[in-house]
């Protein structure tokens, strides 16, 4: 049986954050029963394409999936369990925003079957919460965090750094506060300004590159001092609390994507397909798959296992990368390699996109 993750995309939000370029819409009059019914039908469709999977993770993302009524979350989880064989200790994650917490949200989500909760706080001061377009207050963030800790054993928080004019001492304070919560996982994302976002239209720029690098180093030192290990360029976890679902993406395992904005990678006979809404699919060539695995795998602290790479795409790693560029990157201390593995060094993490472009020949 092959390992499978299932991603369920809820594309609706209470408001659109000015930095966000994910597929999402602000809409309040949603017929959740009707939409979830279509999700259930799509799950049946994707199940019919391959019967050789064991589901190891389910992830509700968005958008703001904590807007889904818990009864429908439970219905989706039950449907997946009826269609596929599921791992006994399956990880079922959901992203939540503090502004959706009605006092009973996290209790109800836990009862619905969610066993891992990721809280989108993004900042731990009032000014930057407003700057980032977050509609929750600092007090709401703390209250929601307390509730998450009460009802879940596996939990995470998202924070954004490299904000314009962000000072290192302010970031240190926020990060120490976040670490003191006692959460099992932290995701730290460097602010980038993507095209077609409100920030891009207003000409807002993130912190300068050298400041972002300084903040990254500060983050690494502080978080590790609290017992977290960085397992991916932006993600830290206590031992055995890595996000199993996201590891599936980075390690190259298959996944089903449900909902408008959800994509998937599934095997049908001898081919791998890219799937997208509504029930569309296209074959991915071996070369395309290999390049994707390279880009994703280099994000991991442990790097890429060459044997697993070959198994997942049918091409050996040395056939897809620019070996001349690799030798230069190794000489410069950005990449390390041995018989079984290739990975980016600590030094290389600061220029990851540059390394990927060189190795893929872009």
β-bridge mates for residue 336, sequence order? 343
Helix (H) or strand (E) holding 35: helix 32-49
CB 159 within 8 A of CB 187: yes
Mean pLDDT, residues 247-268 taken together: 96
CA atoms 155, 224, 159, 242: torsion sign: negative
* DSSP H or E segment with residue 160: strand 154-161
HEC sequence for 216-258: HHHHHHHHHHCCCEEEECCEEECCCCCCHHHHHHHHCCEEEEE
- DSSP per residue over 280-331, as a string? EEEEEPHHHHHHHHHHHHTTBTT-EEHHHHHHHHSS-HHHHS-HHHHHHHHH
| Gap between the Cα atoms of 145 and 158, Å rounded | 11
Mean pLDDT taken over the chain: 95
Mean pLDDT of 268-292: 94
Listed in sequence order, the DSSP H helices in 103-253 are 105-112, 126-131, 138-151, 168-180, 198-201, 209-225, 244-251
Assessment of whether the complete model's pTM goes beyond 0.85:
yes
pLDDT band at 53 (very low <50, low <70, confident <90, very high): very high
How far, in Å, are 81, 84, 220, 230, 292 from residue 138 at the CA level?
38, 41, 24, 26, 38
131: tokens are 């700057």
Distance CA 1, CA 54 (A): 6
- Does the pLDDT of residue 181 top 90, yes or no? yes
Domains contained in the chain, CATH given = 2-247 (3.20.20.70), 300-362 (no CATH)
Each residue's pLDDT tens digit, 306-355:
999 998 899 999 999 999 999 999 999 999 999 999 999 999 998 999 99
Q: Are 26 and 36 in contact (CB under 8 A)?
A: no
CA distance 189 to 132: 13
59, 93 in Cβ contact below 8 A?
yes
Q: Are 272 and 288 in contact (CB under 8 A)?
A: no
Write down the residue that tokens 């503090």 correspond to.
98
Mean pLDDT, rounded, for 293-303? 96
Cis peptide before 63 (omega within 30 of 0): yes
Note the pLDDT of residue 16. 87
**pLDDT, greater one: 202 or 61:** 61
CB atoms within 10 A of CB 5: 26
- Taking the CA atoms of residue 220, residue 226, residue 231 and residue 237 in that order, the dihedral angle to the nearest 10 degrees is -140
The torsion angle over the Cα atoms of residues 330, 186, 192 and 287, rounded to 10 degrees, is 50
Question: pLDDT of 214-238, one tens digit each?
Answer: 999 999 999 999 999 999 999 999 9
Distance of alpha carbon 313 from alpha carbon 27, whole angstroms = 40
The pLDDT, as a whole number, for residue 202 is: 87
- The 8-class DSSP code of residue 98 comes to G
The per-residue pLDDT for 1 is 83
In whole angstroms, give the CA distance from residue 55 to residue 78: 13
Residue 259 confidence (pLDDT) above 70: yes
With tokens 């602010």, the residue in question is 191
* Nearest 10 degrees: Cα torsion 281, 286, 290, 296: 10
Q: What is the pLDDT of residue 361?
A: 72
Categorise residue 113: left if φ over 0, alpha if ψ from -120 to 50, beta otherwise: left
């Amino acid at each position: 049986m092959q390992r499978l993750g299932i991603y369920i995309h809820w594309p609706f939000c209470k408001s659109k954050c000015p930095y966000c370029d994910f597929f999402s819409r602000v809409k309040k009059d949603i017929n959740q029963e009707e939409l979830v019914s279509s999700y259930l039908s799509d799950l049946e469709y994707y199940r019919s394409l391959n019967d050789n999977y064991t589901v190891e993770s389910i992830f509700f993302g968005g958008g703001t999936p904590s807007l889904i009524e818990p009864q429908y979350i439970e219905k989706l989880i039950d449907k997946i369990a009826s269609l596929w064989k599921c791992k006994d200790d399956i990880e079922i994650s959901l992203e939540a925003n503090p502004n959706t917490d009605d006092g009973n949200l996290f209790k109800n989500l836990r009862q619905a079957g969610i066993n891992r909760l990721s809280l989108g706080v993004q900042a731990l001061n009032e000014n930057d919460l407003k700057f980032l377009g977050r509609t929750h207050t600092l007090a709401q963030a703390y209250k929601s965090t307390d509730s998450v800790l009460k009802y879940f054993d596996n939990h995470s928080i998202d924070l954004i750094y490299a904000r314009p004019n962000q000072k290192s001492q302010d970031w240190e304070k926020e990060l120490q506060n976040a670490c003191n919560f006692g959460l099992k996982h932290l995701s730290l994302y460097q602010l980038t300004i993507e095209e077609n976002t409100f920030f891009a239209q207003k000409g807002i720029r993130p912190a300068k590159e050298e400041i972002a690098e300084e903040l990254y180093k500060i983050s690494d030192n502080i978080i590790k001092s609290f017992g977290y290990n960085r397992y991916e360029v932006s993600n830290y976890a206590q031992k055995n609390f890595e996000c199993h679902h996201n590891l599936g993406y980075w390690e190259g395992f298959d996944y089903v994507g449900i909902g408008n904005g959800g994509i998937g990678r599934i095997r049908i006979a001898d081919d791998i397909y890219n799937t997208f809404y509504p029930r569309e699919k296209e074959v991915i060539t071996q070369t395309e798959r290999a390049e994707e695995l390279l880009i994703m795998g280099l994000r991991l602290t442990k790097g890429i296992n060459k044997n697993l790479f070959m198994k997942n795409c049918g091409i050996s790693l040395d056939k897809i990368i620019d070996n001349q560029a690799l030798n230069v990157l190794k000489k410069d201390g950005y990449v390390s390699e041995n018989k079984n593995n290739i990975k980016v060094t600590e030094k290389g993490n600061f220029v990851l996109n540059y390394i990927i472009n060189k190795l893929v020949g872009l």
